[in-house]
Amino acid sequence: MAGQVAIGSRSGLRSALPLLLPAYLWLTVAIFLPLSAMVFFSFMTELPLSGKAWSFTLDNYTAFLSQGLYPTLLLASLRLGLEVTLWCVVVGYPAAYVLAKVLKGRSREAIFLLVILPFWSNGLVRIFSWAMVLREGGILDTALNAVLPIKINIDLMYSYPAVIIGLVHSYVPYMVLTCYLTLQAIDGSLIEAGRSLGASRLQVLKRIVIPLSMPGLVAGAALIFVPVVGSFMEPRILGGRTGTFYGTVIEDQFVAVFNWPLGAALSFILLAVVLVILAVASPILRRAA
């Protein structure tokens, strides 16, 4: 019996191989090669391309610990990632629920389009649009003062909230999409069954809908948290002086200081930390579901 199963799965793999091959070839070329080059760089004293003499070293990694700035910034970035992820849940989950369970037909398509729109607009354009909205005398400021009787000053530009707003806007579509998919798959009769058994809407949400859509929430959170921790564009443009994060420091190493080995080492430390966090968090979240 066990032998049969093994044979079955092996022949399954063999027949799947032609289908998998293009994807894995592409992944190897596009991700694995540059990534291994970066691993290599991260253990060097100098970039070999620069023509200077180089040797292997661990200094780039020890620099992270010896300079208190890096761990502090990493913590700040992790906090940023957490906050943005939470806001994405708060904004994205209800939107996904309405899309999946309330709207039908045309209106669903229209709202879907609105949600996807940030995906299709250029990242820089998106961020600079926010800059115009958030700065003093900008669109938000002017609009609010036009409506409100008292004069108030809205200047969110170059602040932590501005960074959050920009990042949430960029990343919330991931949350909407992943949650939409899992919510969509929940049979409407489950909700009706819950209600007929005496549960209020809120109780049904808490005990049936959210647990069943947990995989979407977790997937969305992972898709958002990881890139946000390493983000640099939004913090730099919308955060100004307050926008120094781990990601911007890494970017500096690559584009300003040209210390690629240090930049690479910092990136891999980030990657390791994020992987550890995901490994610890995912079973907890799964159990909660």
Q: Contact residues for another protein (CB under 8 A)? A: 187, 189-190, 192-200, 203, 207-208, 211-212, 289
Looking at the Cβ atoms of 153 and 189, the one nearer to another protein is 189
Nearest to 116 by CA among 176, 38, 29: 176
Whether 213 contacts 182, CB under 8 Å: yes
Q: 122 or 196: whose CB is closer to another protein?
A: 196
Query: Least distance (Å) from another protein to the CB of residue 180?
Result: 19
Other CB atoms within 10 A of residue 230 CB: 19
Tokens of 289: 């579901």
| Least separation in angstroms between CB 186 and another protein | 9
Kindly state the smallest distance separating residue 106's Cβ from another protein, in Å: 15
Min dist CB 188 to another protein, Å, is 9
Token pair for residue 83?
């906050």
Between 153 and 187, name the residue whose CB sits nearer to another protein.
Answer: 187
Question: Whose Cβ is closer to another protein: residue 194's or residue 261's?
Answer: 194
Question: Measured over all CA atoms, what is the biggest interatomic distance in the chain, rounded to whole angstroms?
Answer: 79
Smallest separation, CB 95 to another protein (Å)? 23
Instruction: Rank residues 170 and 213 by Cβ distance to another protein and give the closer one.
Output: 213
**Distance of alpha carbon 284 from alpha carbon 273, whole angstroms:** 17
Identity of the residue, 66 or 189, whose beta carbon is nearer to another protein in the bound complex: 189
Cβ(162)–Cβ(239) below 8 Å = yes
Is the separation of the CB atoms in 127 and 166 below 8 Å? yes
Q: Spell out the residues 6+ positions from residue 80 whose beta carbon is closer than 8 angstroms to its own.
A: 163, 164, 167, 228, 229, 231, 235, 245
Minimum separation from the CB atom of position 159 to another protein (A): 41
Please, what is the minimum distance in Å from the beta carbon of residue 221 to another protein?
19
User: In 85-117, which positions are buried (b, 16+ CB within 10 angstroms) versus exposed (e)?
Assistant: bebbbeebbebbbbbbeeeeeeeeeebbeebee
Residue with tokens 């290599």, as numbered in its chain = 40
Q: Which CB sits closer to another protein, 14 or 104?
A: 104
